[in-house]
């Protein structure tokens, strides 16, 4: 795993120490001896994880962290606060400033490396999603990482897996202001629970007498439905081997008993915020894919989608010896609509035309806006005679009811011409099929419009 780590500390010896340990693990290391230099580096170069000293002259670590998280160009970089004071209040303040984790000086070697590795893994995933999202220019998601007061609008759903009733009670009470907690003392039942419901976080308390809590963590990571749910492990102080194994398994964070309620709340909110950020990135990637294959005006599929999907339907029909028909339809004298009533009226007609196509085609048919006032309907498992009936029905749907124009509430008579073609043994490619239908459409236009013409078999 190659990643670039920025070490920020005002004391050169501290910088050297962390640098040496990171270099030994083949990380690429940058250093800064004050907050301003750190902010500057993060703006100008690529940084994967920041190890940030808290006590520094000038601006302290908390403020550096706040500034990084408030800047959309740097808010996604994970920050690990390095503090000399093992004060819960310090930790909570750091987490509120948006820190993703913290380490206490003197820094424990194994903790340092496993935390950095786990954050690098997380950042790699986030980066990937960010790149895809940026393509869609859908960057409203950045606001999610701006931590501010850590407020989360929607109440979070937390699954608590805890072997003891009294500690369940304490955790539920502490989280009450920020999350609805479902508690379970049966790890296997909890796994099903997690797979079946949309939780924002799973807290696993390692206090079972005869069950290894890491088994549940690893099962959560391997199930498709639960692998993105953050896991927070609660363990005994000193149980370092378990913590290290847990982080290697993909557990996102841990707490040591006795639990400080403030820290529990802060860590819970950090995990939930991060999950929601990644969820939104994922959604926007999915939406941008949908956007790429959807026609903005009509909501039908666009030409790009048709080109790729027709090939699939065509090959499948050929391989199975099933019929396949397509219909190309074009609104008659559409240019006159635009010229006489304006482009908004033209858009009204296109939209209504698409609505009527949608209400006429059957479930398995694929309707697309092919461009301008031209539409294509692909009809799988449909022979020529059935395709002709469907096209004729659509033609009637267009002709018999005038189209409403939004601007002045007037109505317009619209007709359409249609050409259909059906896959025959002589048709080798989807392009040929489209061409046949296009020629039939041309004949329909030449013969006086407002009619259906089938390509000669």
What are the residues binding Mg ion (CB under 5 A)?
10, 53, 55-56
| The total number of residues written for the chain in this structure | 457
Residue 145 CA to residue 196 CA, distance in Å, equals: 27
Catalytic residues: 373
Name which of 56 and 367 has its Cβ closer to Mg ion. Answer: 56
Residue 318 CA to residue 204 CA, distance in Å, equals: 54
Packing angle, helices 61-70 and 35-44, rounded to 10:
20
- E strands along 177-301, which residues? 179-184, 201-205, 231-236, 253-257
3-state secondary structure of 233: strand
Please state the closest distance from residue 84 (CB atom) to Mg ion, in A: 7
Which helix (H) or strand (E) is 160 found in, with range?
Answer: strand 156-161
Please state the closest distance from residue 288 (CB atom) to Mg ion, in A: 43
Asked if residues 67 and 96 have their Cβ atoms less than 8 Å apart, the reply is no
Residue 82 CA to residue 69 CA, distance in Å, equals: 17
Please state the closest distance from residue 98 (CB atom) to Mg ion, in A: 19
Please state the closest distance from residue 269 (CB atom) to Mg ion, in A: 27
Please state the closest distance from residue 54 (CB atom) to Mg ion, in A: 7
Name which of 35 and 419 has its Cβ closer to Mg ion. Answer: 35
Residue with smallest beta-carbon separation from Mg ion: 55
Beta carbons within 8 Å of 397's beta carbon, 6+ residues apart: 356, 359, 360
Residue with tokens 């795993």: 1
CA dihedral 248, 249, 252, 255 (to 10 degrees): -80
């Amino acid at each position: 795993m190659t990643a670039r780590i920025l070490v920020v500390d005002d004391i050169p010896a501290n910088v050297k120490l962390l640098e040496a340990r990171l270099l030994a693990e083949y990380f690429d290391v940058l250093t800064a001896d004050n907050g301003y230099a750190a902010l500057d580096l993060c703006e100008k170069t690529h940084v994967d994880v920041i190890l940030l000293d808290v006590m520094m002259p000038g601006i302290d670590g908390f403020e550096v962290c706040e500034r990084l998280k408030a800047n959309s160009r740097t808010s996604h970089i994970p920050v690990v606060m390095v503090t000399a004071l093992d004060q819960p209040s310090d930790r909570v303040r750091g987490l509120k400033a948006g820190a993703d984790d913290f380490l206490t000086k003197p820094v424990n070697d194994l903790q340092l490396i496993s935390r950095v590795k786990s954050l690098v893994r997380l950042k790699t995933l986030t980066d990937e999603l960010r790149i895809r999202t940026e393509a869609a220019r859908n960057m409203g998601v950045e606001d999610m990482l701006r931590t501010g007061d850590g407020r989360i609008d929607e109440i979070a759903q937390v699954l608590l897996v805890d072997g003891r009733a009294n500690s369940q009670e304490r955790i539920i009470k502490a989280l009450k202001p920020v999350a609805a907690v479902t508690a379970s003392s049966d790890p296997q039942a909890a796994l099903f629970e997690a797979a079946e419901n949309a939780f924002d976080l799973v807290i696993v308390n390692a206090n079972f007498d005869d069950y290894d809590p890491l088994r549940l963590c690893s099962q959560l990571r391997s199930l498709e439905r639960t692998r993105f749910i953050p896991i927070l492990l609660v363990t005994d102080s000193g149980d370092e081997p378990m913590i290290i194994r847990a982080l290697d398994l993909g557990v996102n964070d841990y707490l040591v008993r006795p639990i400080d309620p403030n820290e529990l709340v802060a860590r819970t909110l950090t995990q939930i915020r991060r999950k929601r950020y990644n969820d939104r990135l994922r959604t926007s990637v999915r939406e941008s894919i949908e956007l790429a294959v959807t026609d903005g005006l009509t909501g039908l599929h666009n030409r790009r989608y048709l080109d790729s999907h027709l090939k699939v339907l065509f090959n499948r029909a050929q391989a199975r010896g099933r019929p396949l028909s397509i219909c190309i339809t074009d609104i008659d004298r559409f240019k006159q609509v635009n010229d006489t009533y304006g482009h908004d009226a033209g858009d009204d007609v296109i939209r209504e035309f698409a609505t009527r196509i949608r209400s006429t085609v059957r479930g398995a048919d694929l309707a697309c806006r092919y461009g301008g006032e031209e539409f294509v309907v692909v009809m799988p498992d449909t022979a020529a005679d059935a395709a002709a009936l469907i096209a004729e029905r659509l033609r009637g749907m267009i002709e018999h009811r005038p189209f409403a124009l939004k601007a002045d509430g007037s109505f317009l008579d619209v007709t359409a011409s249609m050409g259909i073609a059906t896959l025959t043994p002589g048709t080798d490619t989807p392009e040929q099929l489209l061409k046949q239908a296009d020629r039939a459409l041309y004949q329909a236009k030449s013969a006086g419009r407002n009619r259906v013409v089938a390509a000669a078999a």
